[in-house]
Amino acid sequence: MKLRNPRKIAWEALIAFEKTQRNPDEILDKLIDPAIDERDKGLAWEITKGTIRYLSKLDYIAQSYIKAPISSQKPKVLAALRIGLYQLTQMNVPQFAAVDQTVRLIADEGMKRDAGFINAILRSYLREPNKVVYPDPIKEPIKYLAAFYSYPEWLVKRWDKRYGYLETIKMLVANNDRPKTFIKVLNRKIDSESARNELNRNSLEAEPAKYFPDFLLALNGQSVINSRLFREGYLIVQDQSQGLPVYLLNPKIGDDVLDLCSAPGGKTIALADRVGPKGKVISLEKDPTRLALVRENALRVGFENIELIAGDLFEFAPERKYRYILLDVPCSGLGTISQNVDLRWTKKERDIKALAVIQSRMLEKAANLLANGGRLVYSTCTTEPDEIEDVIDGFLKANTQFRLENGECEFLMPFATKPGIYRTWAQKHGIGGGGFALLRKNETK
């Protein structure tokens, strides 16, 4: 059943997420009535995604007022406690409304006793907020950071070991910030200044993004998708970190580019914009559902220089080699946990090593499709060296006909870490995290 009550939507979404661990965006899309008011829709998304972001912290807060283990609570009660506490601790909403509307969710289910219990807990927090107990930051620093900033202990421990305590705190804080909305302007259709002026005239404020000239920062967030420019395909919503690999590959007008693992299609469109109508982007995607997203996005912008291929990279056998290849490998996504709030809970540490094995195999296969003298960009949205530098180092040791090469665009410099390797960080750059490498194949073996 489609819903319009934003707190009811969030409550149902959290119950579903706890049960299935599915992507919250997909859960919300199935729950929300298309006729819902935009403000209510925004509230539903904010409560849902914010609550998932702060899941373990909210549980610590709730546990401070409950004798029984928080994990023993009924799923409906637990979800209600979490969204109630999220509104009280992280949102600027009237306290009365947060408590009353949360309690009503349970009362409307006929769970009168549970409604009273939730009312008591929320009001206890308002009376005694200093009663909340976290692990001791001196005796148990990792447990404290994990609880206070709401991350799994394994990830905090991993970052602390690699980057140090203070840098880890910066990472935790930055990745808890609500993500900014960036716009990639399609320069074949409009220049950045004209796009910004039109958005501003229509009260959809935008300003130049910090790093890349054809990106804008949308100050009104996702409301930009209601603009004429978005509807008519003059721009796409894309984080600046996802624009970096296109600049790094740097194909010229008229070039052909092979885009591997291309869904959802943002990089495909950016590449098609860059090579122009005389060039072509061959977009390969294994998952038919995700390939449909690429097709949908390509149709919206009206680019006809994109060829879509449904297929597995390991079975892909084109008749030619390509001088430009973008390989956007599946990864842990730990650089995007600000945007993808569920990843901190659904990803496991063991996933990283397993993914690195797959990534290495994919890089070997992609390299076999590259022409002599050609460029290949290896692209991830992770923070982990296992999936970036370690994969590249292993590949270069086994493939001496390849070398790392610096990108040609000067505005890549803030992200350079060593020759041919580029990193983006939420805490340093204010954009999504990722790791990228530019590989060049020798003219002859």
The predicted-structure confidence for 381-395, as pLDDT tens digits, reads as follows 999 999 999 999 999
Residues 19 and 100 in one domain: yes
In a domain, residue 232? The reply is yes
Residues 230 and 99 in one domain: no
Residues 287 and 199 in one domain: no
CA-to-CA distance for 441 and 40, rounded, in angstroms? 52
DSSP for 66-126? -SS-GGGS-HHHHHHHHHHHHHHHHS-S-HHHHHHHHHHHHHTTT-HHHHHHHHHHHHHHH
Residues 201 and 226 in one domain: yes
Residues 205 and 155 in one domain: no
Q: What's the mean pLDDT in 112-134?
A: 95
Compute the C-alpha angle 375/275/339, nearest 5°. 80
Position 243 scores a pLDDT of: 96
pLDDT confidence tier of residue 443, bands split at 50, 70 and 90 = confident
Which among 202, 220, 237 is the end of a domain? Answer: 237
In a domain, residue 1? The reply is no
Residues 189 and 290 in one domain: no
Position 419 scores a pLDDT of: 95
Identify the H or E element spanning 229.
helix 228-231
pLDDT confidence tier of residue 52, bands split at 50, 70 and 90 = very high
Q: Residue 200 maps to which CATH number? A: 3.30.70.1170
Residues 61 and 120 in one domain: yes
Residues 25 and 124 in one domain: yes
Which among 149, 174, 199 is the end of a domain? Answer: 174
Q: What's the mean pLDDT in 406-425?
A: 96
The count of structural domains within the chain is 4
Domain that holds residue 433: 240-441
Q: Is the pLDDT of residue 221 over 90?
A: no
The predicted-structure confidence for 296-329, as pLDDT tens digits, reads as follows 999 999 999 999 999 999 999 999 999 999 999 9
Residues 281 and 325 in one domain: yes
Q: Residue 316 maps to which CATH number? A: 3.40.50.150
pLDDT confidence tier of residue 1, bands split at 50, 70 and 90 = low
Q: Is the pLDDT of residue 111 over 80?
A: yes
Position 220 scores a pLDDT of: 85
Residues 276 and 331 in one domain: yes
What residues contact residue 178 under an 8 Å CB cut-off, 6+ apart? 338
Cα 379 to the center of its chain, rounded Å: 14
Residues 384 and 327 in one domain: yes
Residues 409 and 270 in one domain: yes
Cis geometry, peptide bond prior to residue 135 (ω within 30 degrees of 0) = no
